[in-house]
């Protein structure tokens, strides 16, 4: 059953009356209920634009349906987690997580209870009274995830949520996100630059073309749904194979985007900590080595 249905989405940015940027071009896509779906594409292909439009933060021509209901603006059926946490610095962790519930009109006692429940789910019990500047990056992102989940949205939209974290914290949070996804059964749409992250987390990965963004191909990830670090799935033959396939698809688009952006050479495809430098493919990506 479709959770998110995107039909003929086209987005043009007008910086001024003379300059127009076609960011997304007639993009259609269906994401199933409870699916973990990743969007992968070269820098500037329109991944964030697409996520923001689904979130109702930006408008476009075309249609988006969430559970059959058209998106007309932001709404509580979608929770968004950004790369830069976006927490209220003057509110405690508990107040940050309870915020969406307050907006929903949930009474204080009930919303505090719910907020504590979601903080426990992301492993932050005991940190309720801290302020965001007293937390590590990983803890801030856990708070942001708890906040997005607390009002029980149909869809969780995540825009490179782990890109600013160090590699180890990133892997820990990937694990936790999978656990939370399994437990809550949410539909997750996850934007990333990292092929490895997309393969590790998602059930399907859409490779987006260089701008203007269209769906180049949707790749099914033939790994078991329940993935844990102990099983070392990243070293398996299936993982390596699908990663290489995605790398090939993505590298064609990176070359295209390099040419389109006037760099004259391909852009970086990163697998690790969210680099965006417009240079060449990393050696490991070229060979597909671990
Ligand atoms: N507010 C805006 N005004 C004008 N152009 C914009 C605006 N926001 C994005 N763009 C342009 O639209 C295109 C898509 O941008 P978007 O941020 O969605 O890409 P992205 O794939 O998320 O990139 P990255 O991976 O680097 O974050 C880019 O060419 C970008 O410069």
Q: How far is the CA of 22 from the centre of ligand 1 (A)?
A: 10
Q: Tell me, using a 6 A CB cutoff, whether residue 23 lines ligand 1.
A: yes
Taking only the tens place, the pLDDT of each residue in 7-27 is: 999 999 987 767 888 999 999
Q: Tell me, using a 6 A CB cutoff, whether residue 41 lines ligand 1.
A: yes
Token output for 1: 């059953």
Token output for 286: 């070229």
Q: How far is the CA of 48 from the centre of ligand 1 (A)?
A: 7
Q: Tell me, using a 6 A CB cutoff, whether residue 214 lines ligand 1.
A: no
The residue whose CA is least distant from atom 31 of ligand 1 is: 44
Q: Tell me, using a 6 A CB cutoff, whether residue 48 lines ligand 1.
A: yes
pLDDT at 223: 83
Over pLDDT 70: what percentage of the chain?
85
Taking only the tens place, the pLDDT of each residue in 233-250 is: 888 899 999 999 999 999
Assess whether pLDDT exceeds 50 at residue 274: no
Q: How far is the CA of 13 from the centre of ligand 1 (A)?
A: 9
Across the chain, what does the average pLDDT equal? 85
Q: Tell me, using a 6 A CB cutoff, whether residue 13 lines ligand 1.
A: yes
Residue 175's contacts (CB-CB under 8 Å, 6 or more residues apart) are 228, 229
Q: Tell me, using a 6 A CB cutoff, whether residue 211 lines ligand 1.
A: yes
- Pick the residue with more confidence: 156 or 226? 156
Assess whether pLDDT exceeds 80 at residue 216: yes
- 270 in Cβ contact with 251 (< 8 Å): no
Assess whether pLDDT exceeds 80 at residue 286: no
pLDDT at 103: 83
Assess whether pLDDT exceeds 90 at residue 264: no
Sheet arrangement for strand 78-81: 78-81, 155-159, 187-192, 36-40, 204-208, 215-220
- Kind of pairing, strands 215-220 and 204-208? antiparallel
Segment 213-241 mean pLDDT: 85
Assess whether pLDDT exceeds 80 at residue 207: yes
pLDDT at 230: 65
Pseudo-torsion of CA 273, 276, 279, 281, nearest 10°? 50
Q: In a mutational test of the pocket of ligand 1, which residue from 9, 18, 23 has the highest number of ligand atoms less than 8 Å from its CB?
A: 23
Taking only the tens place, the pLDDT of each residue in 74-84 is: 988 999 998 88
Query: pLDDT class for 276, splitting at 50, 70, 90?
Result: very low
pLDDT at 226: 67
Assess whether pLDDT exceeds 60 at residue 113: yes
Taking only the tens place, the pLDDT of each residue in 184-203 is: 999 999 999 899 999 999 99
Assess whether pLDDT exceeds 70 at residue 100: yes
- 149 in Cβ contact with 118 (< 8 Å): yes
pLDDT at 260: 55
Assess whether pLDDT exceeds 60 at residue 289: no
pLDDT at 229: 65
Q: Tell me, using a 6 A CB cutoff, whether residue 15 lines ligand 1.
A: yes
Nearest-atom index, ligand 1, CA of 276: 26
pLDDT at 234: 85
The residue whose CA is least distant from atom 16 of ligand 1 is: 46
Segment 45-66 mean pLDDT: 94
Assess whether pLDDT exceeds 80 at residue 228: no
Q: How far is the CA of 159 from the centre of ligand 1 (A)?
A: 13
The model carries a pTM of 0.87
Q: Whose CA is closest to 186, among 39, 78, 112?
A: 78
Q: How far is the CA of 146 from the centre of ligand 1 (A)?
A: 27
pLDDT at 124: 92
Segment 219-243 mean pLDDT: 83
């Amino acid at each position: 059953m479709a959770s998110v249905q995107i039909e003929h989405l086209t987005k043009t940015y007008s910086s001024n009356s003379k300059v127009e940027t076609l960011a997304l071009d007639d993009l259609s896509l269906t994401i199933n209920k409870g699916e973990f779906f990743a969007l992968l594409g070269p820098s500037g292909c329109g991944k964030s634009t697409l996520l923001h439009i689904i979130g109702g933060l930006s408008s476009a021509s075309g249609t988006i349906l969430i559970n059959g209901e058209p998106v007309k603006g932001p709404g509580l059926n979608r929770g968004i987690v950004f790369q830069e946490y976006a927490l209220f610095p003057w509110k405690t962790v508990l107040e940050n997580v309870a915020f969406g519930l307050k907006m929903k009109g949930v009474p204080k006692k009930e919303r505090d209870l719910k907020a504590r429940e979601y903080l426990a789910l992301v492993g932050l019990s005991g940190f309720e009274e801290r302020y965001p500047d007293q937390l590590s990056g990983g803890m801030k992102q856990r708070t942001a995830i708890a906040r997005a989940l607390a009002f029980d949205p149909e869809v969780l939209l995540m825009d490179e949520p782990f890109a600013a974290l160090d590699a180890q914290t990133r892997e820990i949070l990937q694990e936790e996100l999978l656990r939370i996804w399994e437990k809550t059964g949410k539909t997750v749409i996850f934007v990333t630059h990292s092929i490895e992250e997309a393969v590790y987390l998602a059930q399907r990965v859409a490779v987006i073309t260089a701008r203007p963004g269209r769906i180049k191909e949707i790749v099914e990830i033939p790994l078991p749904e329940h993935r844990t670090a102990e099983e070392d799935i990243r070293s398996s033959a299936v993982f390596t194979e699908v990663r290489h396939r995605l790398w090939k698809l993505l590298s064609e688009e990176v070359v295209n985007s390099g040419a389109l952006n006037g760099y004259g050479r391909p852009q970086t495809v990163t697998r690790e900590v969210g680099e965006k430098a417009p240079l060449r493919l990393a050696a490991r990506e070229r060979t597909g080595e671990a």
